[in-house]
Copies of this chain bind each other. A is one copy, B any other.
Amino acid sequence: MSSIEKKPITALSRTRRTLPMALLRARETVMDRFRPMLHRHGVTEQQWRVLRVLDEADSIDASELAEGAAILAPSLSRILKTLETRGFIELRKDPGDGRRSLISLTRAGSAFLAEVAPESAEIYKEIEGLIGAQRIETLLDEIDTLIVSLSEKR
Fill in one digit per residue for A34-55: 1 if any B CB lies within 8 Å of its CB, else 0.
1000000000010001001101
Interface residues of A (CB under 8 A from B): 3-6, 8-34, 45, 49, 52-53, 55-58, 60, 64, 68-70, 110, 113-114, 117-118, 120-121, 124, 127, 130-131, 135-136, 138-140, 142-147, 149-151, 153
With A127-B150, A149-B131 already in contact, the answer to whether A19 and B23 are too (CB < 8 A) is no
Number of copies: 2
B53 touches A15 (CB 8 A): yes
With CB as the reference atom, state the residue of chain B lying closest to A60: B3
A150 touches B29 (CB 8 A): yes
A142 touches B140 (CB 8 A): no
Listed by A's residue number, 7 A-B pairs whose Cβ atoms lie within 8 Å are: A4-B58, A8-B52, A12-B55, A22-B140, A23-B23, A27-B27, A130-B149
Q: How far is the CB of A107 from chain B (nearest CB, A)?
A: 13
B146 touches A29 (CB 8 A): yes
Instruction: Beyond the given A21-B49, A29-B147, please list 11 additional residue pairs across the A-B interface where CB-CB is below 8 A.
Output: A5-B57, A12-B117, A16-B68, A18-B124, A19-B139, A23-B26, A27-B27, A29-B150, A30-B146, A131-B145, A131-B149
With CB as the reference atom, state the residue of chain B lying closest to A150: B29
A17 touches B120 (CB 8 A): no
